[in-house]
């Protein structure tokens, strides 16, 4: 079973929930995929022993100047402004390239050779208990998160429980994380920001036609509109976690919620059982 | 005219709360919300929309089943696994990056490229100055392009009305939309919180600011939630000669101001508001030096 943990708004507690689920699982095979490659933080709580670090690169073109006739076919095909041709000068901006391969295919002179651009690293290891852990780390300065998220997802177990920690937002990196999950938990907080961004995130799941429910973090902030909205739209609220200074302090130091307040372990285990039905 | 860009790496550290309050302190400014896929600034500054525009960006490939012979060329060439083959080819909108390779090489000319309506963008008036903001449709690509557009429009608007400041509420992370938001920024205000995650993401953000040779200053939000961690951040900043412009204490009023839909500074005069008020002249001095 694949469970994605997402949210429109950042900082609502996705990582806390993802780590709690992984630690509360009673199944032998549990894997946590940290797909928030721009700001990966699950390792802080799981403290994994790293087995492998693998650099992920994209194929990008390099021009073989002697072969190029400056016909501009590549420039015309490229939708990402990665190639410029003026007079007898051709330039490739490899940081703009999405690696669609079009320029290689369209060039009548075979004037491109393969170069590569490092986009980040995939780290694999084992966390607390026997949790299998995979994390993507976007190289600082790299714009494209999606191919790295795909690289992380390609390491997902076929069986067992797979938890995916998504980045915030509603655009392509989020879609690429939650797509195909059996269930998605949207973590939010009861504030107008939390509600606004929950509606957007719910919109993503509705558009994908995938089932989802809500976890309300810092549930005692006193703004009732989020729950009202959930009820009205038949979105189940699976868990409410009130603000607790002890939890916030533990979080700051990298302690998982289920270790700070042990009875949460049962609540998350129960939730997993419920979701597996 | 100077531009300040509010970023954080980690989400939910308080970028928007702080941006809205800066808008109140900086007289004669233009606001830009560059968190285009989960924008919240409008919830605090109640914009009155003056202009609304569609944001068209890129293309999506679509198969004409009448022309498709099911040869599979497109599926073979697509690097984004967007094409699935049955009797005919089918292109998945969410996976398609609009590279046009399939359309170009289809032997039957059976693939059409449809322009993408990816969102909207707005020019608005607020109590605190003009504002440019946008909304990316769910699941769309090209958030970076929309961010660039918001930035370009806010700059033009600022020049037109002779604004002194552009205050930009940035997206979380360090990827595509954040990179787009850097262009033209004179100073990054990085908002962090005293947690391991906050510090780790701050370090990555600062590296990015170095990469783009943009000056950066830091404020630690909710600093008193973990004083020893706050110390650790301060030591890091000192070691790297990065100015700390404010330590903002945890204040329940911050949430109340969200519920009231007002900038914190307008809502209350508490300790957090006070810290933000004192931060502004420091930022001003950095921008004008």
Query: Taking CA atoms, what residue in B is nearest to A248?
Result: B225
Contact A191 B258 (CB under 8 A): yes
Q: Touching check for B144 and chain A: CB below 8 Å? A: yes
**H helix intervals, chain B:** 15-25, 42-45, 73-77, 101-105, 143-161, 176-181, 196-211, 227-239, 253-260, 264-267, 271-288
Whether B287 and B186 have beta carbons less than 8 Å apart is answered as: yes
CATH number of B2-46+127-288: 3.40.50.300
Query: Which of B218, B222, B215, B248 has its CA nearest to residue B235?
Result: B218
- For tokens 């497109």, what's the residue? B74
Q: What Å distances lie between residue A55 and A98, A124, A248, CA to CA?
A: 17, 12, 34
- Within chain A, which residues score under 70 in pLDDT? none
Q: pLDDT grade, residue B215 (50/70/90)?
A: very high
Q: How many CA atoms, within 13 angstroms, populate the side-chain half-sphere of residue A140?
A: 14
Long-range interactions of B204-212: CB distance < 8 A, separation 24+: B204/A38, B204/A39, B204/A140, B204/B9, B204/B174, B205/B7, B205/B8, B205/B9, B205/B174, B206/B240, B206/B242, B207/A140, B208/A140, B208/A141, B208/B174, B208/B178, B208/B179, B208/B182, B209/B182, B211/A140, B211/A141, B212/B179, B212/B182
Enter the ipTM.
Answer: 0.94
Query: Taking CA atoms, what residue in B is nearest to A167?
Result: B173
Q: Best mutation site among B134, B169, B175, B225 for testing chain A: the one with the most A CBs within 10 Å?
A: B175
- For tokens 């040869």, what's the residue? B71
- Give me the residue from A106, A140, A208 closest to B211, CB to CB: A140
Contact B12 A12 (CB under 8 A): yes
Residue B134's pLDDT is 97
Contact B38 A105 (CB under 8 A): no
- Chain B: give the shortest CA distance to residue A144, in Å: 6
Residue B285's pLDDT is 96
Residue A27's pLDDT is 80
Contact B143 A105 (CB under 8 A): no
CA distance A269 to A277: 13
Give chain B's mean pLDDT: 96
Kindly report, residue by residue over B70-88, the tens digit of the pLDDT.
999 999 999 999 999 999 9
Q: pLDDT grade, residue B142 (50/70/90)?
A: confident
In sequence order, the 6+-apart residues with CB closer than 8 A to the CB of A254 are A44, A45, A47, B196
Contact B229 A253 (CB under 8 A): yes
Residue A271's pLDDT is 97
The 3-state secondary structure of chain A reads CEEEEECCCCCCCHHHHHHHHHHHCCCCCEEEEECCCCCCCHHHHHCCEEEEEEEEEEEEEEECCCCCCCCCHHHHHCCCCCEEEECCEEEECCCCCCCCCHHHHHCCCCCEEEEEEEEEEEEEEECCCCCEEEEEEECCCCCCCHHHHHHHHCCCCCCCEEEEECCCCCCHHHHHHHCCCCEEEEEECCCHHHHHHHHHHHHHHHHHCCCEEEEEECCCCCCCHHHHHHHHCCCCEEEEECCCHHHHHHHHHCCCHHHHCCHHHHHHHHHHHHHHC
- Give me the residue from B104, B178, B225 closest to A102, CB to CB: B104
Domain ranges of chain B: 2-46+127-288, 57-117
Residue B85's pLDDT is 97
- Give me the residue from B201, B211, B258 closest to A193, CB to CB: B258
Q: pLDDT grade, residue B138 (50/70/90)?
A: confident
B166: three-class secondary structure by DSSP: strand
Query: Which of A258, A40, A171 has its CA nearest to residue B201?
Result: A40
Q: Best mutation site among A193, A200, A201 for testing chain B: the one with the most B CBs within 10 Å?
A: A193
As a whole number, mean pLDDT of residues B26-37 equals 95
Assign domain B57-117 to a CATH class: alpha beta
Query: Taking CA atoms, what residue in A is nearest to B171?
Result: A169
Q: How many CA atoms, within 13 angstroms, populate the side-chain half-sphere of residue A139?
A: 17
Q: Which domains does chain A have, with CATH numbers?
A: 2-47+128-276 (3.40.50.300), 59-118 (3.30.70.20)
């Amino acid at each position: 079973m694949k469970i994605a943990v997402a949210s429109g708004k950042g900082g609502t507690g996705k990582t806390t929930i993802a780590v709690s689920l992984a630690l509360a699982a009673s199944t032998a095979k549990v894997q946590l995929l940290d797909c928030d490659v721009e700001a990966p933080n699950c390792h802080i709580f799981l403290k994994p022993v790293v087995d492998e670090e693998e650099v992920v690169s994209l194929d990008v073109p390099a021009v073989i100047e002697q072969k190029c006739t400056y016909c501009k076919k590549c420039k015309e095909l490229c939708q990402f402004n990665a190639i410029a041709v003026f007079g007898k000068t051709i330039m490739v901006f490899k940081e703009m390239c999405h690696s669609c391969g079009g320029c290689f295919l369209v060039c009548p002179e075979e004037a491109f050779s393969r170069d590569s651009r490092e986009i980040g690293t995939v780290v694999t290891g084992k966390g607390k208990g026997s949790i299998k852990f995979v994390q993507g780390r976007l190289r600082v300065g790299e714009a494209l998160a999606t191919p790295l998220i795909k690289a992380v997802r390609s390491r997902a177990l076929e069986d067992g429980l797979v938890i995916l920690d998504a980045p915030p937002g509603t655009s392509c990196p989020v879609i690429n994380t939650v797509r195909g999950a059996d269930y998605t938990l949207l973590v939010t907080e009861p504030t107008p920001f939390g509600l606004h961004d929950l509606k957007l995130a719910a919109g993503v799941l509705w558009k994908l036609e995938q089932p989802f429910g809500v976890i309300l973090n810092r549930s005692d902030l006193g703004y009732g509109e989020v729950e009202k909205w959930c009820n009205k739209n038949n979105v189940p609220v699976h868990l409410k976690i009130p603000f607790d200074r002890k939890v916030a302090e533990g979080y700051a130091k990298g302690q998982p919620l289920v270790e700070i307040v042990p009875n949460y372990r049962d609540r998350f285990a129960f939730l997993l059982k419920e979701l597996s039905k | 005219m100077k531009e300040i860009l509010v970023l954080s790496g980690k989400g939910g550290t308080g970028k928007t709360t702080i941006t809205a309050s800066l808008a109140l302190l900086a007289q004669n400014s233009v606001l830009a919300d560059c968190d285009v896929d989960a924008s919240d600034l409008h919830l605090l500054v109640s914009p009155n929309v003056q202009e609304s525009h569609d944001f068209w960006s890129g293309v999506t490939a679509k198969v004409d089943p009448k022309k498709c012979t099911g040869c599979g060329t497109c599926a073979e060439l697509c690097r984004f696994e967007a094409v699935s083959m049955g009797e005919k080819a089918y292109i998945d909108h969410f996976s398609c990056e609009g590279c046009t390779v399939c359309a170009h090489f289809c032997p039957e000319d059976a693939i059409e490229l449809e322009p993408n309506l990816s969102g909207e963008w707005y020019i608005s008036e607020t109590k605190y100055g003009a504002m440019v903001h946008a909304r990316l449709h769910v699941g769309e690509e090209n958030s970076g392009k929309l961010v660039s557009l918001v930035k370009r429009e806010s700059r033009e608007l600022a020049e037109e009305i002779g604004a002194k400041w552009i205050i930009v509420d940035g997206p979380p992370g360090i990827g595509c939309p954040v990179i787009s938001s850097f262009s033209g920024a004179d100073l990054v205000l990085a908002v962090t919180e005293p947690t391991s995650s906050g510090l780790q993401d701050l370090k990555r953000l600062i590296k990015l600011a170095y990469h783009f040779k943009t000056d950066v200053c830091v404020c630690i939000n909710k600093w008193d939630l973990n004083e020893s961690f706050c110390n650790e951040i301060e030591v890091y900043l000192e070691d790297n000669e990065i100015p700390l412009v404010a330590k903002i204490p945890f204040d329940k009023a911050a949430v109340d101001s969200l519920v009231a839909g007002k900038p914190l500074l307008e809502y209350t005069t508490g300790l957090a508001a006070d810290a933000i008020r004192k931060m502004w002249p420091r930022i001003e001095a950095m921008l004008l030096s």
